[in-house]
Amino acid sequence: MRPVLILTAGYGEGHNAAARGLKEGFDLLGESRAEVLDLFAPAFGRFYQRSRADYLTVVNNRPWLWASVYSALDRFPFTNRLLSLLWPLKRELVKALKEYRPQAVVSVYPVYGHLLAAAGREAGHSGFESLVLITDSITVNSVWYKCDADTFLLPNEDTAAVMRNASVQQDKLFVSGFPVSTKYSAQGEARPDPGGEVLPRVLYMVNGQPGRVVPLVESLLRKGGIELTVTAGKDEALKSALENLALRMQKPLNVLGWVSNMPHLLRRNHLLIGKAGGAAVQEALAAKTPMLITQILPGQEEGNARLVLQNGCGAHAPTNEAILQSVEQLFAKSAHAWHQMHRHTCALSRPDAALTTARWITQRIRNEGTPRNSRFGLRAPKKQ
């Protein structure tokens, strides 16, 4: 069979996480070959690398500026003139369509969806299923759906309601779930509930706002009563500072750098402390791990936070004081509040979304016209 192309870009981790997860689903299914391509790299070279760094600088240090950009993109029509500026990306897309002759193209970054039709005509290959896999929840920028696609794959029912209100055709909407790594659905050691001899296990994922990290960790260690793990990413100075802090306080603390086993960590811990990034929120839900949200980037992360909060899967704790208070309340009285939050998280969890989505796409391209029902584990949006 001709392959399925999964098109992504490195502006934020959510796109790449979804692309990797979906490919894992195809690989595990073993019926269709999937290729993940980031065509921005060959199209824009050094400018792409610089723009990715600039994006991170803006979202971490000037979120108000990103909010303005996000809002402008939502209102701005993607005219032919604007898309003409992306001709290097279209050129690479034409090359990819000629080389792979795919049966389906899944756009996990929104710009691709606006270029696919023209690129297909230029490549002499337009007989493929075009799918857009939306990685944001609830606050969906219109750049995602103002393109011509056969199907929009949605992460949850809440987002489906937003899309219907945006007048997207009902028969183009499909709730597939967010395709996290298939490791989240693999059989593993059962996580014991907190309480009794089992200390609550708390995972603090540092992402931005480095100035608050050491004071927060010190306060959590001083309060005690939890088993704390902190991921410092690639910040070696912060990692050393936290290790020295634990040594000075003579308190147990597990400090990690760059993490490659996030499914294991999230499934082991009872609570995640971190920002409302797309990948972090969806992976926490897949792991059935409630979340304390420390930071919300205006725009797409507002929807991620709303998904967690309005479904009772977590709480907003924007200050260190709020985090300390929330941790204490969640695990007090035999962790009654945590158990309630955990039940809500389980109700929203779809750890097998990558496999079920790959299965549905494979069946669709083999037997075009198959009714879109729950036969393959996917759910159509609820009608109002």
CATH of the domain at 8: 3.40.50
Amino acid 359: pLDDT: 94
Name the band, by pLDDT with cuts 50, 70 and 90, for residue 81.
Answer: low
Angle (nearest 5°) at CA 71 between 65 and 73: 105
Residue 314 has pLDDT above 90, yes or no: yes
Using alpha carbons, select from 368, 351, 362, 350 the residue that is nearest to residue 29: 362
Flag whether 381 is in a domain.
no
Mean pLDDT of 64-91: 76
Condensed to tens digits (0 to 9), the pLDDT of residues 235-272 reads 899 999 999 999 999 999 999 998 888 999 999 999 99
Flag whether 193 is in a domain.
no
Residue 111 has pLDDT above 70, yes or no: yes
- Domain hosting 175: range is 4-184+352-376
Amino acid 384: pLDDT: 41
Asked if 229 and 202 touch (Cβ cutoff 8 Å), the reply is: yes
Amino acid 196: pLDDT: 80
CA distances to 58, 306, 346 from 4, rounded to whole Å, are 34, 32, 31
Q: Residue 252 maps to which CATH number?
A: 3.40.50.2000
Name the band, by pLDDT with cuts 50, 70 and 90, for residue 187.
Answer: confident
Q: Is 315 or 383 the better-scoring residue by pLDDT?
A: 315
Residue 82 has pLDDT above 70, yes or no: no
**Dihedral angle over CA of 359, 183, 157, 295, nearest 10:** -150
163 and 33 together in one domain? yes
Name the domain count of the chain: 2
Is the C-alpha dihedral spanning 27, 32, 33, 38 positive or negative?
A: negative
Cβ-based neighbours of 383, under 8 Å, separated by 6 or more: 170
